[in-house]
Chain A
Amino acid sequence: MQNEVDLTPEAAVRAVMRDILGLSAEQVSEFTADTELFGALPELDSMAVAGLLTELEDRLDIVIDDDEVDGELFETFGNLVAFAEMKVTE
């Protein structure tokens, strides 16, 4: 079996966004900190957000509590990456 490859939080967020939105690696590589997410991407509905959080937990080995999740978190790609980076250092 191949060993697990450690991902940086940013790489994990990009990979999950790619899987959830069905984008190519190139399209997701164009996301910047200012790229708008919730509201700007119709595929990112509340069910997709629920899946995104569980995937991030799984891929980064973190636990995300209900009260850490608010609208601001999904405003931009940068917000989500900053949150993931904060969680892995907890």
Chain B
Amino acid sequence: MTPAPAFGTYEFAGRKELCLCPSTPLAHRVMLVPPLFDEMNRMRRMLVGVLEALEGLSVGGFLPDLPGTNESQVALDRVTLSDWQDAMAACARQHGISHIASFRGGVLTVSGLNAANHWIFTPAKGAAILRTMLRTKVAADRESGLNTSIADLTIRAGKAPLELAGNIIGSELFAQLDAADIPTFESQNVVRLESDNKPSDRQITGSALWLRAEPDDDPAMSLAIGRDIAEWVKQ
């Protein structure tokens, strides 16, 4: 049986943040960068499954928390995209990472790490992630009799922290995400689902868990991603 990942940490801004680590030290190492906001919750179990699959293939997978999310002690409304980028750089440095696998909007938090090798799963730009959350807010407001619009909310987000689908997003994080395009790296592999018509280097059979109403699991997808990443890391 594959051992469960160990609870490790990395240090950022004088605090320890959670980082799931391999249960034994392994020579090959890869950092998995989670998606943002609700997409992270919906894919968490699948990503932990990837860590387990990687360990079974003798590759050490590291899954850090982004400050302000999951177990982090920092309030999300004080976090900026620059903080996330600095945090992921710190985690990569502290754990000796040269290979980074990012999921969805996670790629926006490693855009400055050009020296690393990147494996990128269904990347999403910041504006699209915000747009979905803004739409959810508009729909919820309409149900409670308020007539808001994406344009109104965008203006409000520029002045004060805005609650979107349960996440309190500060003005700077909102503005930085809104402007954050999908980066390209010198060494990169873009990986997508078979059902996706966008350009990719490789395709994987699996489910678009980030679009689902509830968090779900897909063990076959975890294994397929684990195998693909392990092959790429060992090249």
Asked if A1 and B201 sit within 8 Å, CB to CB, the answer is yes
B195 → chain A closest CB, angstroms:
5
Given known A-B contacts A1-B199, A5-B197, A54-B128, A46 and B140 have beta carbons under 8 A apart: yes
Asked if B212 and A1 sit within 8 Å, CB to CB, the answer is no
Determine which of A12, A16, A58 lies in contact with B128 in the assembled complex, contact meaning CB atoms within 8 Å.
Answer: A58
* B-contact 0/1 string along A1-39, CB 8 Å cutoff: 111111100001001101110100100000000000000
Q: Which one of B7-15, B48-56, B129-137, B171-179 contacts A?
A: B129-137
**A72 is an interface residue with CB less than 8 A from chain B:** no
Asked if B128 and A45 sit within 8 Å, CB to CB, the answer is no
Interface residue tally on A, bucketed by range:
20 to 34
Residues of chain A within 8 A of B151, CB atoms compared: 66
**A73 is an interface residue with CB less than 8 A from chain B:** no
Chain A residues touching B, majority SS: helix
Residues of chain A within 8 A of B140, CB atoms compared: 46
Asked if A15 and B136 sit within 8 Å, CB to CB, the answer is no
Q: Could you tell me the distance between the alpha carbons of A18 and B211 in the complex, rounded to whole angstroms?
A: 10
Asked if B135 and A19 sit within 8 Å, CB to CB, the answer is no
Residues of chain B within 8 A of A48, CB atoms compared: 211-213
* B-contact 0/1 string along A44-80, CB 8 Å cutoff: 1111111111110111000000110100000000000
**B228 is an interface residue with CB less than 8 A from chain A:** no
Closest to A45 in B: B213
Asked if B201 and A50 sit within 8 Å, CB to CB, the answer is no
Given known A-B contacts A46-B143, A47-B213, A48-B213, A66 and B195 have beta carbons under 8 A apart: no
B121-151: which residues lie under 8 A (CB-CB) from chain A? 128, 131-133, 135-136, 138-140, 143, 149-151
Asked if A55 and B199 sit within 8 Å, CB to CB, the answer is no
Q: Could you tell me the distance between the alpha carbons of A53 and B139 in the complex, rounded to whole angstroms?
A: 12
Asked if A15 and B195 sit within 8 Å, CB to CB, the answer is yes
Residues of chain B within 8 A of A4, CB atoms compared: 197-199
B183 → chain A closest CB, angstroms:
15
Q: Could you tell me the distance between the alpha carbons of A52 and B200 in the complex, rounded to whole angstroms?
A: 21
Residues of chain A within 8 A of B163, CB atoms compared: none
Asked if B132 and A51 sit within 8 Å, CB to CB, the answer is yes
Asked if A54 and B132 sit within 8 Å, CB to CB, the answer is yes
Residues of chain B within 8 A of A54, CB atoms compared: 128, 131-132, 135
Which chain A residues have a beta carbon within 8 Å of chain B's beta carbons?
1-7, 12, 15-16, 18-20, 22, 25, 43-55, 57-59, 66-67, 69
- What would 16 A/B residue contacts be, using CB atoms closer than 8 Å? A19-B207, A20-B212, A22-B212, A46-B139, A47-B139, A47-B165, A47-B213, A48-B212, A48-B213, A50-B132, A50-B139, A52-B211, A54-B128, A54-B132, A57-B128, A59-B198
Which 3 A/B pairs are nearest by Cβ-Cβ distance? A50-B135, A19-B208, A46-B139
Given contacts A1-B199, A19-B193, A46-B139, 17 further A-B pairs with CB under 8 A are A1-B200, A1-B201, A15-B195, A22-B216, A25-B195, A43-B212, A47-B213, A48-B212, A49-B135, A50-B135, A50-B136, A51-B211, A53-B132, A54-B131, A59-B197, A66-B138, A66-B151
